[in-house]
């Protein structure tokens, strides 16, 4: 099921990395750009903000300031623990 593969979370990257490490997972964070057509369509009522957002790439922000990101979690093998 697709919903079991992708799960939204309200953790900071540090909290999530620690939680995964506790259960023998290593985490790789993938930064996302939150500027997409859906988000821009919500800003039609505010053209100046829409114009600014259109030119921002949120992937350039440090991981701590990311609002959307994907996490790839891999279980460590017994040898790696």
CA 58 – CA 39 distance, rounded (Å): 13
Domain boundaries, the chain: 2-74
pLDDT in tens, 41-66: 989 999 999 999 899 888 888 888 88
| pLDDT tens per residue across span 1-50 | 455 555 666 788 899 899 999 999 999 998 888 888 888 998 999 999 99
Give me the pLDDT at residue 50, please: 92
Is this model's pTM higher than 0.75 or not? no
């Amino acid at each position: 099921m697709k919903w079991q593969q992708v799960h939204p979370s309200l953790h900071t990257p540090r909290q999530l990395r620690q939680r995964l490490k506790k259960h023998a997972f290593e985490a790789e964070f993938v930064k996302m750009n939150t500027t997409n057509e859906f988000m821009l369509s919500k800003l039609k009522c505010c053209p100046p903000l829409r114009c600014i957002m259109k030119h921002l790439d949120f992937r350039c922000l440090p991981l701590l300031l990311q609002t959307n990101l994907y996490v790839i979690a891999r279980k460590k093998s017994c040898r790696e623990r």
